[in-house]
Amino acid sequence: MADHQEASVTLPSAPASVPEARAYVTDVLAEWGLGAGAEAADTVRLIVSELATNAVEHTVGQSPTFTVDLRLDREQRLEIGVTDSHPKWPRWLPLATQQDSGRGMVIVRCLAAESGGEVFVTPTADGGKTVWIALPWTVPVR
């Protein structure tokens, strides 16, 4: 298997696309050696679920699609990016936020921190953004 892998899927910004994004990521991770039952796979699926939900709910019709990108450098890390064309970047609420909604990024930041990873946002050429999560990759090469 190559030391560097990439995969990507673009889906409509609709609620039904969230489980589709999760399933896609599960299949790709399995191909790359991270089985569906692994704790790290659960973490990645939850992160993708939160980011895809944000891309659907918070783009207010300004992004007809969103894209999930996976990049794997077997020596270092897995990067997960969710891109939409809405110009508004995520709000960074305090980690101790108690409100009923808007905690998706709090969850994502906590999961990334617990896994030794990081969260960052990059702009896209069309004025949108990609929310990236970088996590250590610890799966042995098969």
Over residues 82-116, the pLDDT tens digits come to 999 999 888 765 555 555 555 678 888 888 888 89
Within 63-117, residue ranges assigned H as helices are: 104-114
Reading the chain (142 residues) residue by residue, the pLDDT tens digits are: 567 899 999 999 999 999 999 999 999 999 988 877 778 888 999 999 999 999 998 877 788 999 999 999 877 899 999 999 999 888 765 555 555 555 678 888 888 888 899 999 999 999 999 999 999 987 765 5
- Integer Cα distance of 110 and 99 in angstroms: 16
31 contacts 142 by C-beta, under 8 angstroms: no
Judge contact between 7 and 79, C-beta under 8 A. Answer: no
Task: Report the candidate in 78, 3, 87 with the shortest Cα–Cα distance to residue 48.
Answer: 78
Residue 42: strand pairing partners: none
pLDDT of residue 58: 81
Report the distance separating Cα 33 and Cα 14, nearest Å: 29
Q: Which amino acid is at 62?
A: Q
H or E element that contains 25: helix 17-31
What is the residue whose two structure tokens read 């896209």? 124
Give the C-alpha separation, 126 to 31, whole Å.
32
pLDDT score recorded for residue 37? 73
What is the structure's pLDDT at 141? Answer: 53
Which H helix or E strand runs over 42? helix 39-57
Q: Which pTM value belongs to this model? A: 0.87
